[in-house]
Structure 1
Amino acid sequence: MTRFKVLLATLSLSVLAACASPQGSAPTLRGAVDPDFPYADTRSTYGQFLAGQAALRSGRTRDAAGFFESARVLGGDKAELAVRERAFTAVLLAGDVEAASRMAPRDAEANEAVRRLGALTRVVDLMADGKGGEARQIIKAETIGFPHRQATALLEPWIAAQVGDVAGAIAQPSLQGDRLVQYFGQLGRARLLERAGRFEEAETDYKLLTGVSAARGLFTLDYGEFLERRRRSAEAVALYDTALVQSPGDTALIRARARASVRRSPPPVVTLRQGAAQVLVATAASFMNERQSQFGLAYLRLALRLDPKRDDAWLLVGDVLAQGGDVEAAREAYGKLPPSSPRYVAAQGKLAWSLQTEGDKAAAVALAQRIAAAAPGDRDAQLTYADLLRADERWTESAAVLDPLIAAAAAAGNPDWRLLYMRGVALERAGRWPEAERDLKTALIASPDEPELLNYLGYSWVDRGENLAEALQMVQRAVAARPDSGAMLDSLGWAHYRLGDYKAALENLEKAVELEPGDPDVNDHLGDVFWRLGRKDEARFQWTRVLSLEPTATQKVLVETKLKTGLGPAGPAVATTVATIP
């Protein structure tokens, strides 16, 4: 059974509309202007609109933006308002902010939400062109209300700075009870004070941010870079060292510390456009955390209009597009990150996983291997390589990649249960059980209440008929922590089966099948329980179902044998030896 799974967010059709081409590639009008396109005979406004809807449903989101724009153009001044609104939204989400700004609906009868987003789009586009005065006029003349109050409040100081209003620039924005505006407003104020040469006041704000436990990790780099610019490198190194205790694998912190320790030139203070872009990225992340991915993507596109080289924005754009199924556009977004970026390894890792998901396992592993070889000291690069080797069932190679990472953690006196767990799984699958058991036990010492560990080691013992009494206790603890986990309920049911308690086994395995109906192991186990309870027709039904669920070759042979001969007599319940975790 798969003991750990990646849960991918499933996006709605409205979010699929958000998955379009990256910033800078304007959607091409299709159908009305391209005679070779399959929908070329669809010349009416309504036909183009329907074609756009069809493109969305089939995942061709870049074409969808083109269809909606084509519908708008064909309709001219008489185009239905709904068509114009959809065209604006599609083009914005496709990444052409300049075109979207021109198309933004201003009609009084327009949908209020679309009109507000249109006003924000015009504001950002004007800021990108250095026209802060005109952007300010829009904010004063139009109410850009919910859900854009955060963005408007955070952008206003940067607009004020653009028009030379010093007092407006250093006035900290606020929304009652809104921590995002509080923290990023204070960061903006610190940066604008620094730009104005008011360094003591700027440092006060930077210090306040790094003194708040909830925000400290977000703003350590900002304060450290300020200290470096003030030629206080030793203080910057000390700040980075403190942060690295909590986040030892943070690539950006590691790079910043290395730079400060040899007094290389720090990043310059952000430009007005870069500062404004950051608050939009922060707001986008907030939307995405609330599963408002369409708004998140729109804000990321706006941020990239202000700062086309913003790496974190490209990475997030790629994630939204990949989750929506627009793999090609997601790869384009990940490919925007240069090798010099601290996030380059993460982006390349996502590219590799997209290849794996598409079935090109060889290319995925080859890319991960190149990344790992190019960055031997990068933990994330090595983990990605190990993960992809494991996904390709190259268990021994995966364990070997993890060896130096585990040794380094042990040498530092900080064993990482996750690494030990990963290697334990790889070793177990490679048939090296004594080594795997050692890793899993050591991991459990480091994290004794971790459900994944309790479940994996407990299930492994159950499946091998070893230490059943303790294994039962372990999987019971795992299920108590995660009662909705089909995998863990299966482990508990299988433990009861091994102990001969078929009634308890049935109760748990039926729940497990409800939660994991497509798992061949869970269905196989339920079939075995049915057989022991004398319900042989139901047992055969479950075993037959296993064959339709892509079982492994070994599973297939075992199930086919059971369908022919059933199960032999049940042996005595095993379970007296209790293992001791050293």
Structure 2
Amino acid sequence: MRRSFLNIVLSCAAPALLLGACGTLPGAQSAGPQAKATAAESVEGASTYGLFLAGEAAMARGQTQDAGRLFSEAMTRPDADPILSERAFTATLLAGDVPGAARLAPTSPESAEAVRRMGALVRAVEALAEGDGKTARALLASDEIAFPHQAAAALLKPWAAAEAGDMTAALEAPAAGGDRVLSFFGLLGRGQIAERARRYEDADAAFKSAVDIGLSPRTAALAYGAFLERRGRKLDAGAVYETALAADPADRGLMAAKARAATGRKAPPQPTLQQGASQALLAPTAAMVAAKQIQIALGYLHLVLRLDPGRDDAWVLVGDMLQAGGDTDGARAAYARPKPGSVEFAEAQSKLAWTYQADGDNARALQLAQAAAGTGDRQARLGYADLLRGEKRYEEAVTILTTVMAEQKQPNWRLLYMRGVTLSQLDRWTEAEADLRAALALQPDDPELLNFLGYSWIDRGERLPEALAMVKKAVAANPSSGAMVDSLGWAYYRMGDYKEALAKLEEAVGLDAGDPEINDHLGDVYWRVGRKDEAMFQWRRVLTLDPDAKIRASAERKIAAGGLGAEPRRVAGN
């Protein structure tokens, strides 16, 4: 069975370590108007317990703003339980209201320890955002902030010290304990703080050390290059950008920085203390994402944006998390924040387009995707091409893909794969096969690619032994894929081995019972082994599963004819 190339979904696992609340950001469906109205109207006349349940339901739907309001209302009731303050704090933070969360942060010993720790960090960041370095510094140095927030506190301490006017403490390197990420962001911060203190040699040395760590060449190059530009060292800055571009030639941020340095345009302004602290928080945020601590990561991102509301990269990540959690309205608001001309604008607009495509508003999705692609951004153009494929505008999609591929210095197997899939949908098989084989030569172990090309040969009755080996390899890599097991069963069917085909196709239906093509194949093999009533049942079932036009026509033809014709000639190979 063929599979589309661009089937990329950001999945959020429920975190094992939450902010202390029962509600998570689950992979729920986006709440519809009725659900939102229910949440909005549930306060009037509700009991404290009713408000609590309504708040929990709103959290489960990803409606953190409604949840925060409901929990806050419940807190005002005489019979309110202390746990409501924890829920209100969590919901308010996840809704992005950091000042409100700081006011609600529980400090009572009766509150859950995890919530108190997060609350202390929120209060520290709010103090930093308000320019109160003294308070922030005291909180960050206290025992109130402990696991899992030590890294965040360590990276924020120098910025709090700088805001409090203690530059000596601000220039002390965070205790990294061998952690490369902490060392890297600590050095970036030290470079930026040293520049503020006009200790330019120290700043230069810190930036160079960050570059040498090699953890994030792009981040280090942009920070170091901007410093060099501000020092009037445009040629040196250009060399730094050029080195980083060697690792990622398509990076639009690096390309823009290189062009700015080359043309002598004004250097980027020195980051403020809040902006520097915001960047420092990105490292622990990434660590929480990697550890699947999604609530904490989203909370951190809101802290990042409280310190620097202009961080478009953080807005895109917030959008990703909210969309994965079912809050489509919140995701759209986040994706709308990056401004035209920013590096992240095209990506944000492209992702915004996909939210409308998921809701069935294809016209709006295509409009947004086309605008994003018009910026020239590579990923935005690829996203637009895939939306065009979804609308069966295959020729336009191929044109975009071919243009993007012509810009690449080296062949890209993913682009070859994507164009091959699109060409096959145009029945331009000779060209499609060439792309798919070229992609396989570059990436011989990718199961999706193996399956797509293998199934294509199987369905055409070509190169069956080779195709059989390919789909076997794909199934070995992904044995729970109904599509891949179906390909294997169909290979046995085309080779006349109905016994093995039956076993595999029944297994495939068990893995993906709602797939019309797999059910159609199972009907065919039932017919060949003499189980004709079951075959007719399967073909009728296909018609209930929203098949595409080709599969529907195949099933209807077999039902109308009362079954299959004579057994096809068995193919040993070719």
| Aligned partners of 2:519 and 2:541 also within 8 Å | yes
Please tell me whether residue 428 in structure 1 is matched to residue 428 in structure 2: no
CA distance in 2, matches of 1:453, 1:262: 44
Corresponding residue of 1:466: 462
Give the distance between the partners of 2:125 and 2:70, measured in 1 at CA: 25
- Secondary structure of the residue aligned to 1:267 is coil
**1:26 matched residue in structure 2:** none
Retained in 2: the 8 A contact 1:16–1:61? no
Shift of 1:537: 4.0
Residue aligning to 2:11: 9
CA distance in 1, matches of 2:9, 2:534: 31
8 Å contact from structure 1 (residues 467, 575) kept in 2: no
- The 5 A counterparts of 1:285-324 are 285-324=286-325
- Per the alignment, residue 411 of structure 2 pairs with 415
Distance in 2 between the 1:485 and 1:266 partners? Answer: 52
In structure 1, the partner of 2:283 is 282
**C-alpha distance in 1 between matches for 2:202 and 2:86:** 45
- Is the contact made by 1:42 and 1:48 (CA closer than 8 Å) also made in structure 2? no
Contact 1:372–1:385 (CA<8 Å) still a contact in 2?
Answer: yes
The correspondence for 1:452, drawn from 448, 453, 457, is 448
* 2:550 is equivalent to residue 554 of structure 1: yes
Question: Against the structure 1 CA distance between its residues 81 and 175, is the aligned structure 2 distance closer, same or farther, given a 3 Å change threshold?
Answer: farther
Contact residue 69 and residue 91 of structure 1 kept, 8 A: no
Equivalent in the alignment of 2:351 = 350
Retained in 1: the 8 A contact 2:116–2:144? no
Partner in structure 1 of residue 139 of structure 2: 138
Residue 572, structure 1, aligned to residue 569, structure 2: yes
Residue in 1 aligned with 2:435?
439
Query: Per-residue deviation at 1:357?
Result: 0.3
Query: Structure 2 vs 1, CA of residues 507 and 194 (structure 1 numbering), >3 Å: closer, same or farther?
Result: farther
In the TM superposition, structure 1's runs of 4+ consecutive aligned residues that sit over 4 Å from their partners are 10-13
Task: Quote the offset at 1:263 in angstroms.
Answer: 1.9
Where relative contact order (Cα < 8 A, 6+ residues apart) is larger, the structure is 2
Kindly indicate whether residue 95 of structure 2 is the aligned counterpart of residue 94 of structure 1: yes
Task: Please tell me whether the aligned partners of residues 353 and 368 of structure 2 are also in contact (alpha carbons under 8 angstroms).
Answer: yes
SS at match of 2:514: coil
Q: Identity, % of aligned pairs?
A: 51
The answer for the alignment partner of 2:58 in structure 1 is 55
Match of 2:49 in 1: 46
Q: Distance in 1 between matches of 2:288 and 2:449?
A: 33
| Correspondence for 2:272 | 271
1:25 aligned residue: none
The aligned counterpart of 1:70 is 73
Structure 1 stretch 415-424 or stretch 471-480: which is displaced more? 471-480
Partner of 2:386: 387
CA deviation map 1:168-195 (0-9, x unaligned): 1111112434333222122211221222
Gap change, CA 1:362 and 1:37, over 3 Å in 2:
closer
The whole-number CA distance in structure 1 between the counterparts of 2:467 and 2:143 is: 65
Q: What are the equivalent positions in structure 2 for 1:502-517 lying under 5 Å apart?
A: 502-517=498-513
Which of 526, 532, 537 lines up with 2:522 in the alignment? Answer: 526
| Larger displacement relative to structure 2 (260-269 or 291-300) | 260-269
CA distance in 1, matches of 2:218, 2:12: 29
User: Taking structure 1 as reference, are residues 507 and 225 closer, same or farther at Cα in structure 2, changes over 3 Å only?
Assistant: farther
Shift of 1:548: 3.0
Q: Contact 1:18 / 1:294 at 8 angstroms: preserved in 2?
A: no
2-structure distance, mates of 1:515, 1:245: 44
Deviations 1:320-371 (A, max 9, x none): 1111111111101111111121000000000100010010011111221222
The range that moved more, 335-344 or 260-269, is 260-269
Contact 1:17 1:61 in 2 (8 A): no
Please state how far the C-alpha of 1:18 moved relative to its aligned partner. Answer: 11
CA distance in 1, matches of 2:512, 2:27: 30
Q: Could you tell me how far 1:11 is from its partner in structure 2?
A: 5.2
How many Å separate the matches in 1 of 2:167 and 2:467?
67
- Distance (whole Å) between structure 1 residues aligned to residue 52 and residue 153 of structure 2: 32
Q: State the distance in 2 between where 1:213 and 1:488 align.
A: 39
**SS state of the match for residue 16, structure 1?**
coil
Mapped to 2, the partners of 1:468 and 1:531 lie a distance apart of 22
* Larger CA deviation: 453-462 vs 510-519: 510-519
